[in-house]
Structure 1
Amino acid sequence: MPGPQADPDRRWLDLELEDDFDEELEQEIDDSRIPAALQELRQVRKRSSITRETYFRELLRLQAELVKLQDWVVYRGLKVVVLFEGRDSAGKGGVIKRITQRVNPRVCRVVALPAPSDRERTQWYFQRYVAHLPAAGEIVLFDRSWYNRAGVESVMGFASEAEVEDFFRDVPEFERMLVRSGIVLVKYWFSITDEEQQLRFLMRIHDPIKQWKLSPMDLQSRVRWEQYTRAKEAMFERTNIKEAPWYIVEGNDKKRARLNCISHLLTLIPYETVPQQPITLPERVFDPNYERRTLPAELYVPERY
């Protein structure tokens, strides 16, 4: 039986674990909020087929494996690039959040580039993406990538037919070159139905804290759904190469999509547990002559909560 002293220690550990768990719970609650204007759609959307308990248990287990993968990437000096593509609101950002939530941002970073500047438009098309490729011991997650040319630029007329054709001719060799250089290149496409995208867009329109996610290009993507479908089919046909194949993630169920994607990613990069040196917390050094100064009250953030 543990002694009386163990109870406070156990409680402290429980609180730490609760804080860790709440970080994901906050995001989960945010995902499930339904604005008042959309309450009538509550019955339209299907509840996830995976229970919340199972989702959290599996997510935390997979995130622990991602930490091991991260350590292995650093240990072996690997270079990993993961592309996340798909229709607007398909869930790319959600899975990227869960991948990066518990790993080291100095090892695993996200690249989400804005529209190209006037100068960048005159450069070799791939040039601005090359600048963000990983060095040894790094993982780079592209939240949209050079495949913008095959998608939004093609559909919206931001690139000419000749430029799109040049892209399709060049991208397979560009990606083969990346793989030959030692980069592990993974490409995910998140797929959702027309109806699910409509529901998610309505959520963004009526939810003030999500409206920033909705751009004029997103609205046009609804109008041009079939054009985007044809562009996607052409992209798969011409860029699904054996050195860097496409993997499609069914995204209508957000929870399952996140777990399936992370689980699959872990299978693509063989990794082992990295040997770690035991860590011992050193004792604090006390100076009997040091007297802590009293700081002015105005330096402190007001404790409103």
Structure 2
Amino acid sequence: AVLADISSPENRAKAFGLIGVAFGLGFILGPALAGVLSRWSVTLPVWIAVAIAAINLVLVLLLLPETHPAEQRRALPRKRALNPFAQLAKVFANPKVGSLCLGFFLFFLAFNGFTAVLVLFFKQVFGWGPGPATTAFLIVGVVATVVQGGLIGPLVTRFGEQRLTLFGLGLVVVGCLLIPGAPITNAKPMVFSAVALLAMGTGLVTPCLRSLVSRRLDGDGQGAALGSLQGLQSLGSFLGPPMMGLAYEQLGFSSPFLLAAALLLGVCFLTANGTLNQAS
């Protein structure tokens, strides 16, 4: 919401890409730091994480300015209106952004679902230990950082958010299909290429979808809608892993990737349909 307040509509995807940069850097540095700290104590990384979160809170309280003008603020609603599920239903019912928000939810349902079983898949299918699996996630962090840190702004200027969203979804679908299709005897080249495509696609989809939603809303209520997007991301991240874990156990090792690819094709339809409805 702060980034939406302080950025112009045409620069919004680039601003949201900064969140992806932070995610990518955290993906690279966090596990490495935890690995070093765990040499002294397995609980030390937890306490360091608590300390970092506390420092983050202090920095927000002391240094982050209020970006929402006082004249645009609303009176506090009644408690019934603060029901989070009611807020999500309100967002889905909005004809301007409903399809895009549903697509945003399904994207994280699929993506976080199949990535939750990745390490288990690597171990049971390819016999990989921590080393190759860690390398795969390191590739994700590096690629996501490059895409959202340096490339997203010029790419949006050249191609626009909708095209990049659809292209990014295509990359993630291809990545989903490559991983279970990798040869067991020499899986690393195909798997590492696949996770690079996954990271690149996610680096395009996440900020561009957020920007598409933001651009379709007026300043009034934009923060609430973007907050709902974050809620949808969390909800998808919560529901995806057990859903894909059940599929992995009951339907076979490849089923989470195939199911995710099918859901992502649905996201492509919702994204195209949402932008067409807005244009009409």
More strand by share: 1
TM-score (norm 1): 0.24
More helix by share: 2
TM-score (norm 2): 0.26
**Larger radius of gyration between Structure 1 and Structure 2:** 1
Higher RCO structure (Cα 8 Å, ≥6 apart): 2
